[in-house]
Amino acid sequence: MSDFDYDLFVIGGGSGGVRAARMAAAEGDVKVALAEEDRYGGTCVIRGCVPKKLMVFASEYSGMPEEARAYGWEIADGTFDWATFHGNLEKELDRLEGVYKKLLDGSGVERFEARAKLRDPHTVELSTGEVKTAKHILIASGGRPQRPDVPNAHLGMVSDDIFHLEKLPRSVLIIGGGYIACEFACILHGLGVKVTQFYRGAQILRGFDEEARGLISEAMQERGIDLHVGTNIVEMRCAEKADFEGDGDGRLGVSVQEVGDIPGDSSMTGETEDEAEGPLWVKATNGQEGIFDAVLFATGRTPNTEDMGLEECGVALGNGGEVVVDEYSQTGVPSIYAIGDVTDRVNLTPVAIREGMAFVETVFKGNPTPVDHELIPSAVFTQPEFGTVGLTEEQAAAQEATEVYCTSFRAMQSAFAGKNDRVLMKLLVSKETRKVLGCHIVAPGAGEMIQLAGIAVKMGATKEDFDRTCAVHPTMSEEIVTMRQPVRTA
């Protein structure tokens, strides 16, 4: 008989933790428990990928009537009802959470709906007062949005709050230039919100391919998003009547007529505990002032490691609070492992799931399996979408001599409707080995395309392998296999 209550105790009910718990429990005699203090499904299902993608779908319908009319359909512009969408969204999230619970129950995993922290390398203490022991402990507690260290930051929202709004603000200022900031800028604009975006850097989407991020920035601005790069927030407070005096020349955001009566206006439309009582006055580093119904901070995320007893048990944390692990997801304490966003390696749901699977292979199947973080395809759900795998042009050029194959054009569907939207297809090829080092696509449906391109890049396909592949015509993606001459070398 084991000296422990469980062979594995998982802290965190997100996609990675649930997958690891289920796979370990499937090994027969392995007894598994999992604790989740909030909702099952974690960031992706409840506060991230899934609700965000559903909001992307909703926002994309706004441009369809105009495009349809160019194709001969007599369709009037519609209106978006947040209450209807939000009600359906909540139902879907409830359904998905129920699926996660059923999967755990069906696998024989014992669930604890409580906060868990470590007492020692083999002991977990629950917020219910229960104490459980385990031979192995897996930390899969994820991460959360962080607020910047500026006065009155509590008046603004973070990404989690978006999904709890009872109605949409009429205007919003988004602080940040990463993929979360840009995705919500496009989403909210598509839903009819007046969007202003500040980013302190020179160009949005830092870390991605320069040419691709430039095209996305231009497309966002052409759609009507008021993007200010090299700009940050200096001050923020609740707006007062005096803030609306004068002619408002150069003022960002909205006018008093658009916002409503000041002060005590009820146009701030969230129900979060940090909610402001009315519109917010903001001053930017460029000297401009603005008044917005809401401010959304999308300035980074931080691992959920606070008050978990990790360091007291000997688990090392990095400078950002992340759990430090080796290639097998093992911490410096042999019995404790960590996967997913809490390790701040590659913060993507499919990666967390694969880390969980590798953990089970290593610990419960006797097959030491390091986590593979190379050549991971990903997508940014801006409008247009951005799909990417492998090296950027800048990274490839720094690594070796590279040929750049690239084309940008108006896609057939949008060009016929008289729209100026442009598509980008780009391959980076090693001069020496001819391998495709990176693939970048900016286009409607780029996320779907990059998944398939990612297979070829992961397999080590050469440019000649792409060239030998027959094109599917007429499609946007055919350009990936029809670019014959490099546009430049790097």
> Which residues have C-beta within 8 Å of that of residue 449, sequence separation ≥ 6?
387, 441, 443, 476, 477, 480
Taking a C-beta distance cutoff of 8 angstroms, is the pair 137, 336 a contact? yes
In which residue are the tokens 């496009």 written? 186
Instruction: Determine if residue 201 is labeled as part of a ligand binding site.
Output: no
Instruction: Determine if residue 31 is labeled as part of a ligand binding site.
Output: no
Tell me the residue type at 45. Answer: V
Tell me if residue 228 is catalytic. no
Which residue in 154, 189, 440, 473 is the catalytic one?
473
Q: What are phi and psi of 315, to 5 degrees?
A: -80, 125
Per DSSP bridges, beta strands 336-338 and 131-139 are: parallel
Provide the β-strand partners of residue 9.
Answer: 33, 137
Contacts 24+ apart (CB under 8 A), 341-345: 341/43, 341/142, 341/143, 341/301, 341/303, 341/304, 342/12, 342/139, 342/140, 342/141, 342/142, 342/143, 342/303, 342/304, 342/305, 343/303, 344/143, 344/303, 344/318, 344/320, 345/371, 345/373
Q: How far apart are CA 446 and CA 466, in angstroms?
A: 18
Instruction: Determine if residue 180 is labeled as part of a ligand binding site.
Output: yes
Taking a C-beta distance cutoff of 8 angstroms, is the pair 258, 171 a contact? yes
Provide the β-strand partners of residue 171.
Answer: 194
First to last CA, the chain: 63
Instruction: Determine if residue 156 is labeled as part of a ligand binding site.
Output: no
Sign of CA dihedral 87, 90, 91, 92: positive
Identify the DSSP state of 381. Answer: -
Instruction: Determine if residue 290 is labeled as part of a ligand binding site.
Output: no
Instruction: Determine if residue 177 is labeled as part of a ligand binding site.
Output: yes
Instruction: Determine if residue 179 is labeled as part of a ligand binding site.
Output: yes
Q: How far apart are CA 321 and CA 139, in angstroms?
A: 13
Residue stretches of the annotated binding site for NAD(+): 176-183, 300
Residue stretches of the annotated binding site: 53, 176-183, 300, 341
Residue stretches of the annotated binding site for FAD: 53, 341
Residues recognised as catalytic: 473
